[in-house]
Amino acid sequence: MIQFLSQLVQAQSTLDKGEVAASQVISDYFGRHGVPCSIDTWDTTRANCVVHVRSSGRKKALLFACHHDVVPPGDSDWRYPPFSGLIDAGKVHGRGSTDMKGGTAAAATAICEIVAEGVPLEGDVVFAATAGEETDSCGVRRFVEAKADLPHFAGVIVPEPTGFEIVSAHRGLLWLNIVTKGKTAHGSTPHLGINAISSMKQVLDLLAEFSIEAEPHPRLGSCSMSINTIEAGKALNVIPDRCTLGIDIRTLPGQAHQAIIDRLEAMLVKLDERHAEFEASISIIRSVGGIETDTEHEFVRAFCAAVDIKETRAVGYTTDAPFLTPLGAPILIFGPGEGSMCHQPDESIAISAVERAVAYYKKIIIEFLT
């Protein structure tokens, strides 16, 4: 399994390279264990791979929903090359080892071992490694669109690195750009142009007073909003005709993202009415809802009992889990590796954690499917 994880890291499934090579590594691994795996490829470089182990069908199925894309290694120097997949000092090193190829390898291994041991299954087990979680979640959306081909699930496990805490709730995110448009002119004659930065200042003044109305969540706290990027201006002697603001909003489960956008639109309309020269628009960069699985649900209680962990946790970050809600099954996030390692230079995962995950996933399969 550790060689498999190392090869998965070497597959270098960043946005520019895509997930075809990683899907092939996973498919080959299942293939070596006699478990058929299908690869769904689109747009040349994008790929999902799906395994469906069939059973007597007396019980509802389980889904292990992984993503096999990774973020780029960044500009920092790495101790080991980021896509070496080097195995050293009890760890597998490289981009994606923690987020989330460790969990992916563990889920695949657990399924292969269950099949090899001839455990009679009464419910199907489905494994999916989907594309683009770090960017636009295109893979999980494509997977869920084909849900007519999928069985009914008792529950969904997302093997993201939670340090073996059971995560049952997380916030959503809404990333927006606001663009103000102006008219360019020579820097020495600003009265002949419309300065998009000056227009943006008016937006910023109103945003300083803008708050998102939402009752704080008992476990997730409040929603948050932060202006994290601003871009404008080409040269010191040119009046800028475009200014782009990037806003990062973190929402609570069930919160309507469109309502937030509508209020921001209304704010821009107000500025437009006040100033003849004002022109601005909003675009959605990313919108992912929050998630909250009922902790009293029988799946959650049985899951907690199976892995002998009493409490579930709520976290601030986002996963692909909200895109899985159309499957109509409770979702838990539970996997090896520490969240603090995600997207960092020198990313690595302890082999012992991946091995522990295999044991947990096998227990869960046996608990629910036999």
Is 334 or 368 the residue whose CB approaches Zn ion more closely?
A: 334
How far lies 223's CA from each of 79, 320, 340, in Å? 37, 19, 21
The residue range among 80-88, 98-106, 195-203, 298-306 that interacts with Zn ion, by the rule CB under 5 A, is: 98-106
The residue range among 54-62, 110-118, 159-167, 169-177 that interacts with Zn ion, by the rule CB under 5 A, is: 159-167
Is 102 or 330 the residue whose CB approaches Zn ion more closely?
A: 102
The residue range among 40-48, 85-93, 152-160, 244-252 that interacts with Zn ion, by the rule CB under 5 A, is: 152-160
Based on the shown chain and the rule CB under 5 A, indicate whether residue 99 belongs to the binding site for Zn ion.
yes
**Strand duo 331-333 + 280-288: pairing:** unpaired
Determine the distance from the C-alpha atom of residue 228 to the mean position of all C-alpha atoms in its chain, rounded to a whole number. 20
Size of the site for Zn ion (CB under 5 A): 3
CA pair distance 301, 277, nearest whole angstrom: 59
Is 99 or 292 the residue whose CB approaches Zn ion more closely?
A: 99
Based on the shown chain and the rule CB under 5 A, indicate whether residue 8 belongs to the binding site for Zn ion.
no
Rounded to whole angstroms, the maximal C-alpha distance in the chain is 80
Is 100 or 280 the residue whose CB approaches Zn ion more closely?
A: 100
Burial environment of residue 243 by CB neighbours within 10 A (0 to 12, 13 to 18, 19 or more): buried
Based on the shown chain and the rule CB under 5 A, indicate whether residue 100 belongs to the binding site for Zn ion.
yes
Enumerate residues 219-258 that contact Zn ion by CB under 5 A.
none
Determine the distance from the C-alpha atom of residue 370 to the mean position of all C-alpha atoms in its chain, rounded to a whole number. 30
Is 99 or 124 the residue whose CB approaches Zn ion more closely?
A: 99
We find the least distance from the C-beta atom of residue 337 to Zn ion, in angstroms, to be: 10
C-beta of residue 108 within 8 angstroms of C-beta of residue 30: yes
Burial environment of residue 215 by CB neighbours within 10 A (0 to 12, 13 to 18, 19 or more): exposed
C-beta of residue 34 within 8 angstroms of C-beta of residue 127: no
What does DSSP assign to residue 221? B
We find the least distance from the C-beta atom of residue 50 to Zn ion, in angstroms, to be: 18
CA pair distance 288, 291, nearest whole angstrom: 9
Is 135 or 281 the residue whose CB approaches Zn ion more closely?
A: 135
The two three-digit tokens of residue 108, written as one number: 């695949």
Interface mask (CB under 5 A) for Zn ion, residues 309-348, using x and -?
----------------------------------------
We find the least distance from the C-beta atom of residue 300 to Zn ion, in angstroms, to be: 21
* Site of interaction with Zn ion (CB under 5 A): 99-100, 160
